Homo-oligomer: A and B are copies of this chain.
Amino acid sequence: MQSFDYCTPTRLIFGKDAIKNLPEVMRPLGKRVLLAYGGGSIKRNGLYDKVKELLADFEIYEFSGIQPNPKYDPNVLEGVRLCKEHNIEVILAVGGGSVLDCSKTVAACAKYDGEPWDLISYKVKAKAALPVVDIITFAATGSEYDKNSVISRTETNDKFSYIDPLLYPVCSILDPTYTFTVSKRQTAAGCADAINHIMEQYFCETSTLLNDGFMEAGIKSLMVNGVKCLENPEDYEARAEMMLACTFGCNGIYSLGNSSSLWPCHCIEHALSAYYDITHGEGLAIITPRWMKHILNEKTIGRFVKYGVNVFGIDAGLDPYEIAEKAIEATYRFFESLGLPMHLKEVGIDESRLGEMTRHIAEKEGLENAWAPLTEKDVMEILTASL
């Protein structure tokens, strides 16, 4: 087991009407609030009005229009400008992972006097951040319980992971009923994203019985509940369990003490969504089974066998490669059964920029150091198989 240093200080308030705790949560953090949200769905479903009502005695400044795959320019820059202009004391992010990622980055950059990019590019280490509280309306990214954010820079087709312990939200309010209105397509994409978060950790050099059991439980729970959420979008139990399982995705609890690895599917998908602005979870659903197939070899077979037997219940007595291939096929079929696009062409990506994206990945991501190393040629083969 590897040594580790772990702390997730975020408070989770979970359940129907959890929002009623909002004033008590916000009060000690400050009166001047930046209310961050996306395209306005929170106005249509009443959440916006509810927040304004609960925070009637706070000074609220709005930061709206945060895009999916949030952009450094204009999203982050605008948020930082608003924080500085209005002496914001606390950010309240209401939305999904994009709104929250953007808000977390803004929280750090607002306390820094230089160019925000200095922090995101790790040229300068942040010394402080505004406190962030969030109300999650979409289960997927786990951003509500981690120190990570992903920010896109359009002009260079980059998606940057900006990670800092200062970015943990102070409190995340999780009400499964807010996800009842998430579309089938987004629900499926969120499920694929959350499953992939666990798989990126599962396929590694060394793990423990404890972590493997946690991760297998997470994957199985997401598979079963993802299907239930699609069948009945207002199934509270299914939405609740999916929300909770997503929450643990990226805060490290699934792999405490495991050998660390890069997250290869995320590295590849980040290029796809940086170049084509596709939905992250859809990109992951397409890439994951092709990546699995590509990396299956004598070194990796053991993990695939464990995955196949423990997640899909494949007969442990079969030949290891047969188990592995069945497991990869079952993964593909599962994503397909959610109605997800399973080919890049279905999300508008053809072969024209594969070379460019592949080079970008090879130059920036260091995937030759992954548990199952990937060269530029490997990435090209995975993308070509995904077309």
**Chain A residues in the interface with B (C-beta under 8 A):** 1-18, 21, 176, 208-210, 212-214, 216-218, 220-221, 224-225, 236-237, 240-241, 244-245, 253, 256-257
A244 surroundings in chain B (CB, below 8 A): 1, 208, 210, 256-257
CB distance from A225 to the nearest CB of B (A): 7
CB < 8 Å neighbour of A224 from B13, B209, B257? B209
CB distance from A365 to the nearest CB of B (A): 27
**Contact in complex: B3, A210 (CB < 8 Å):** no
CB distance from A288 to the nearest CB of B (A): 21
The 10 closest A-B pairs by CB, nearest first: A213-B217, A3-B15, A7-B11, A210-B221, A1-B240, A209-B221, A9-B9, A6-B12, A208-B241, A5-B13
Q: List 15 A-B contacts (CB under 8 A).
A: A1-B176, A1-B236, A1-B240, A3-B15, A3-B16, A3-B17, A6-B12, A7-B9, A208-B241, A209-B217, A209-B221, A210-B217, A210-B244, A214-B214, A217-B217
- Known contacts A5-B14, A7-B9, A208-B244, then 5 further A-B pairs from the complex at CB < 8 Å, ordered by chain A residue: A3-B18, A6-B11, A213-B217, A213-B221, A216-B217
A12 surroundings in chain B (CB, below 8 A): 4-7, 256
The answer for the CA separation of A16 and B11 in the assembled complex, in Å, is 30
A14 surroundings in chain B (CB, below 8 A): 3-6, 256-257
The answer for the CA separation of A332 and B195 in the assembled complex, in Å, is 37
**Contact in complex: A213, B214 (CB < 8 Å):** yes
**Contact in complex: A218, B210 (CB < 8 Å):** yes
A16 surroundings in chain B (CB, below 8 A): 3
The answer for the CA separation of A224 and B209 in the assembled complex, in Å, is 9
**Contact in complex: B6, A210 (CB < 8 Å):** no
The answer for the CA separation of A335 and B39 in the assembled complex, in Å, is 57
The answer for the CA separation of A218 and B17 in the assembled complex, in Å, is 32
Which residue of chain B lies nearest to A208 when distances are taken between CB atoms in the complex? B241
A256 surroundings in chain B (CB, below 8 A): 12, 14, 244
CB distance from A109 to the nearest CB of B (A): 25
A217 surroundings in chain B (CB, below 8 A): 209-210, 212-214, 216-217
Which residue of chain B lies nearest to A6 when distances are taken between CB atoms in the complex? B12
Which residue of chain B lies nearest to A5 when distances are taken between CB atoms in the complex? B13
CB distance from A134 to the nearest CB of B (A): 14
A18 surroundings in chain B (CB, below 8 A): 3
A216 surroundings in chain B (CB, below 8 A): 213, 217
CB < 8 Å neighbour of A15 from B4, B7, B13? B4
